[in-house]
Amino acid sequence: MHEFELACGIDGLNDFLDALGGQLDAPLAQDKIALALEALAQLGDGEEEDIEFDLRYQDAVTPVIIKAAVTHNVGPRLVFATPSESLFEAARRLA
């Protein structure tokens, strides 16, 4: 699994996912993004959440996980993870 930390926080995650959607074969559904952001915003101290998306990239469906964790009431810390090296590289360039 390829992963990197997203420095954008919840406030910038929507913009990051919109930009990533422009690189995909099919854009991310806005309702799915809204549900993910809502779930992440409700995390409390010590809580973690993995938000999973199946993205269509380079004619293949590729799983992506946005991992979120809140520690010491700071965060959430966001991590982008995917098994696809090419999608990982594309996402990292956008972050």
pLDDT digits (tens, 9 = 90+) for 45-90: 999 999 999 999 999 999 999 999 998 877 789 999 999 999 999 9
Q: Which amino acid is at 30?
A: Q
Strand, coil or helix: 6: strand
Q: Where are the domains of the chain?
A: 2-94
For the entire predicted model, the pTM comes to: 0.91
Q: What is the mean pLDDT of the chain?
A: 92
Nearest to residue 1, comparing CAs of 84, 95, 90, 83?
83
8-44, pLDDT tens digit by residue?
888 899 999 999 999 999 888 899 999 999 999 999 9
Q: Which residues pair with 2 in a beta bridge?
A: 82
pLDDT score for 71: 87
